[in-house]
A and B are shown apart, each in its own frame.
Chain A
Amino acid sequence: MKVKTPTPTLLQKLKRFFMMDLVKGLGLTMKYNLGALVDKDAVAGKGIYTEQYPKVRPDVAPRFHGAPRLNMDPETHDTLCIACNLCAIACPEDCIDVIAMDVEIIVAGKPRRKKVLDEFIFDTSRCMFCALCQEACPTSCLELTQDFELATYSRAGFVWNREMLEQGRETVKYTS
Chain B
Amino acid sequence: MLLLAPINFLDEFLLRFFSAQTVNFIVWPLIQIGLVVTLVALWVAYATYLERKISAFMQARLGPMRVGLWGLLQPIADGIKLLAKEDFIPDKADRWIFFFAPYIAVASSFIVFSVVPFGPDWAVIADVNIGLLLVLAVSSVGVLALILAGWSSNSKYALLGGLRSSAQMVSYEVSMGLSLIGALMFARTLSLSGIIGAQGSDTIWYVLYQPAGFIIFLISGIAENNRAPFDLPEAESELVAGFHTEYSGMRWSLFFMAEYAAMVVVSAVAATVFLGGWYFPFVNRLDSINHNLFVAVSLLIFLTKCAIILYVYFWLRWTLPRFRYDQLMDIGWKWLIPSALINIVLTAIAVFVVQALDGWKGMKTIEAMNMGLNLTATGKAIMIAFGIVGLFITGALLSRINWRSRDFNLRTQRRNIKLVNVPQGKPAVQTN
Instruction: List chain A positions with a Cβ less than 8 A from chain B.
Output: 5, 16-17, 22, 25-26, 28-30, 32-33, 35-37, 42, 45, 47-50, 52
Interface contact A26-B315, CB-CB below 8 Å? yes
**Bound complex: CA A143 to CA B396 (Å):** 73
Minimum CB–CB distance for B308 against chain A, Å: 13
Query: Quick one: which of A5, A29, A47, A49 contacts B319, CB cutoff 8 A?
Result: A29
Interface contact A50-B320, CB-CB below 8 Å? no
Minimum CB–CB distance for A176 against chain B, Å: 8
Chain A residues contacting B316 (CB-CB under 8 Å) are 26
B30 interface hit (Cβ, 8 Å): no
Chain A residues contacting B62 (CB-CB under 8 Å) are 48, 50, 52
Chain B residues contacting A30 (CB-CB under 8 Å) are 315
Q: Which residues of B in the span 33-68 have a Cβ within 8 Å of any Cβ on A?
A: 54, 56-62, 65
Chain B residue nearest in CB terms to A50: B62
Interface contact B396-A48, CB-CB below 8 Å? no
**Bound complex: CA A59 to CA B5 (Å):** 55
**Bound complex: CA A36 to CA B59 (Å):** 9
Chain A residue nearest in CB terms to B403: A13
B326 interface hit (Cβ, 8 Å): no
The 15 listed contacts between A and B (C-beta, < 8 Å) are A16-B399, A17-B396, A25-B319, A28-B319, A29-B58, A30-B315, A32-B57, A32-B58, A32-B59, A33-B57, A36-B60, A42-B60, A50-B60, A52-B62, A52-B65
Cβ proximity bits B293-320 to A, threshold 8 Å, 1 near / 0 not: 0000000000000000000000110111
Chain A residues contacting B65 (CB-CB under 8 Å) are 52
Chain B residues contacting A25 (CB-CB under 8 Å) are 319-320
Minimum CB–CB distance for A3 against chain B, Å: 9
Minimum CB–CB distance for A84 against chain B, Å: 49
Interface contact A29-B60, CB-CB below 8 Å? no
Chain A residue nearest in CB terms to B420: A1
Interface contact A22-B320, CB-CB below 8 Å? yes
Q: Which residues of B in the span 300-349 have a Cβ within 8 Å of any Cβ on A?
A: 315-316, 318-320
Interface contact A50-B315, CB-CB below 8 Å? no
Query: Quick one: which of A16, A22, A26, A49 contacts B60, CB cutoff 8 A?
Result: A49
Interface contact B60-A47, CB-CB below 8 Å? yes
**Bound complex: CA A35 to CA B316 (Å):** 18
